[in-house]
Structure 1
Amino acid sequence: MPFRSKETLQVWLDEFAADDAHGTSAAYVADQEPVDGRDSGLVIFPLRNATTSIYLQPIETGAPDWRVTIEAQPEVTELSPEAVYDLCRELQNAAALCAFLQAKSVEHMALRNADTQD
């Protein structure tokens, strides 16, 4: 499977979601125009407790490192203490997903490099 294809990333999201420790996640792989003929790997992570959006993506094409981007918020968000705790859990889940995608990318690249050396 091509690296960071929509199919590969969906398999990784399904694997992440299957781990009950992370709770439920509404993350999904975005449809994108390929960069230099390759998928760039954009994952959208909708937040239920904020009016902003966040997304996860590799720092650059071909690099295994991922980052979370938090977009500017269009309006003020006022939250109860319980909703702030919920938002913190969502952000913690986004961070865990980002770390998971980075680990899977490193693993994928190591396997690909091992195959080319054989």
Structure 2
Amino acid sequence: MPFRSKDLLEAWLEEFAASGAAGGGVAFVADQEPVDGIDSGLVIFPLTNATTSVYLAPIAVGVPDWRVTFEAQPEVTELSPESVYDLCRELSSAADLCAFLLRKSVAHMAQLAADVHL
């Protein structure tokens, strides 16, 4: 399976959700055209308590590190204290997913390297 293919990332998201770590967040893999034959690995993490979009993406091809990106906010967000707590939980889930994707990427790259040496 190619590194960061849509199928592989969807399997990882299913594994993350099945672990219960998702905290109710529903992330999905974006449909994208591969660049130079390599899938980019863009994962969208919708926030219900903010007007900004959040996505997770690897920092570069061939590198296991992932980052959470917050897009510019189209409007001001005003939240009650309860909604701020809810947003904090959503952001915590996004951070957990980002760390999970990093761990899976490191393990996947190690397996690919091991397979090459067989």
Q: Same fold (TM over 0.5)?
A: yes
Q: Percent of counterpart pairs with the same letter? A: 72
Q: Which runs of 5+ in 1 are unaligned?
A: none
Report the equivalent of 2:104: 104
In the alignment, residue 108 of structure 2 is paired with which amino acid? H
Report the equivalent of 1:116: 116
Report the equivalent of 1:10: 10
Report the equivalent of 2:48: 48
Report the equivalent of 1:76: 76
Greater RCO, 1 or 2 (C-alpha within 8 Å, sep 6+) = 2
Give the Cα–Cα distance (whole angstroms) in 1 for the partners of residues 70 and 98 of structure 2.
Answer: 13
In the alignment, residue 33 of structure 1 is paired with which amino acid? E
In the alignment, residue 51 of structure 1 is paired with which amino acid? T
Q: Which runs of 5+ in 2 are unaligned?
A: none
Length-normalised TM-score, structure 1? 0.97
Give the Cα–Cα distance (whole angstroms) in 1 for the partners of residues 43 and 53 of structure 2.
Answer: 11
Give the Cα–Cα distance (whole angstroms) in 2 for the partners of residues 117 and 110 of structure 1.
Answer: 11
Q: Cα RMSD over matched residues? A: 0.7
Give the Cα–Cα distance (whole angstroms) in 2 for the partners of residues 22 and 29 of structure 1.
Answer: 15
Report the equivalent of 2:31: 31
SS class of match (1:26) = coil
SS class of match (2:55) = strand
Paired positions, count: 118
Contact in 1 for aligned 2:21/2:93 (Cα 8 Å): no
Note the alpha carbon deviations across 1:45-94, whole angstroms, 9 max, x for none.
00000000000000011110000000010000000000000000000000
Moved over 4 A (4+): none
Are positions 1:86 and 2:70 aligned together? no
SS class of match (2:104) = helix
Report the equivalent of 1:63: 63
